[in-house]
A = this chain, B = another copy of it.
Amino acid sequence: MTETIAPARGRRGSYAKSEATRQAILDAALEVFSQSGYRAGSLRDIAQRVDMSEAGLLHHFRNKSALLEAVLELRDEQARALVPIESGDGVELLRGLVGLAEYNASIPGVVELFTTLSAEATAPDHPAHAYFLRRYEYTRRNIERAFRDLRDRGLLRHGMTPRRGAVIMVALMDGLQVQWLLHRDILDMAEELRAVFSTFVDIDWNAAGTDAVPESVPA
């Protein structure tokens, strides 16, 4: 489902070196976009952080929106390290989503980037529109599968359907981020998620213990 963006190899660089450079650019771009936003974040600023010229950077990513897309895919990979989204195990998935919310609370710049971009990208002509269409479909499909697992294990309450559970879960996570960004001091995203999950899933959170939340995630 995910389109890959092949790295454009520097003419003289080896493949390994090109990969390392590409990774360094992505890390810098995530930093810059998270701090300044996508529109205001400049390629020049990103290039400077990795000691390159803007032209050199464009050997690796053909333009700003290709770079943005690669940054978003990178973040998704990092998130997948926290949330076993494709496992189909409903309990593990819900615990993972709570863990992700806890982790997200430590990276407000990235949350701000995703929140703003996903709103802007609802416009069909936005460079990240196709990415977000795919991302929402992928996320809902996998959460729906996990909810079918919960239903089959008799853990789903009140006739909540797997499809609806998926739509609602994604909506909640998105919506909580907006409120949290505005009022960080009074809102704990993970706590709110855990509470609302409990209203329609019969799950024992305490049994999860702290092992549901990985100690560290890939930087």
- The residue that A168 contacts in the complex, of B118, B164, B196, with Cβ under 8 A, is B196
B175 x A172 contact (CB < 8 A): yes
Residues of A contacting B: mostly: helix
B133 x A178 contact (CB < 8 A): no
A157 x B199 contact (CB < 8 A): yes
Given the contacts A158-B199, A192-B171, A196-B168, A122 and B112 also touching, CB distance less than 8 Å: yes
Q: Is A12 an interface residue (CB 8 A)?
A: no
B179 x A119 contact (CB < 8 A): no
Q: Is A63 an interface residue (CB 8 A)?
A: no
Given the contacts A116-B120, A119-B119, A170 and B179 also touching, CB distance less than 8 Å: yes
B179 x A192 contact (CB < 8 A): no
Q: Is A213 an interface residue (CB 8 A)?
A: no
Copies in the complex: 2
- Cα(A55)–Cα(B75), bound, Å: 46
Interface stretch (choices A3-11, A16-24, A85-93, A181-189) = A181-189
- The residue that A132 contacts in the complex, of B118, B182, B198, with Cβ under 8 A, is B182
- Cα(A195)–Cα(B167), bound, Å: 11
Q: Which of A90-135 contact B (CB under 8 A)?
A: 112, 115-116, 118-120, 122-123, 132-133
- The residue that A199 contacts in the complex, of B171, B183, B200, with Cβ under 8 A, is B200
Contacts of A168 in B (CB 8 A): 172, 192, 195-196
Mark interface residues in A130-172 (1 if CB within 8 Å of B CB, else 0).
Answer: 0011001100000000000000000001101000100110111
B183 x A136 contact (CB < 8 A): yes
Residues of chain A having any CB pair with chain B under 8 Å: 37, 112, 115-116, 118-120, 122-123, 132-133, 136-137, 157-158, 160, 164, 167-168, 170-176, 178-179, 181-183, 187, 192, 195-196, 198-200
27 pairs, A vs B, C-beta closer than 8 Å: A37-B123, A112-B122, A115-B119, A116-B116, A116-B120, A119-B119, A122-B181, A122-B182, A133-B183, A136-B179, A136-B182, A137-B183, A158-B198, A158-B199, A164-B196, A170-B175, A170-B179, A171-B172, A171-B174, A171-B175, A171-B178, A172-B172, A174-B174, A174-B175, A174-B178, A174-B179, A199-B199
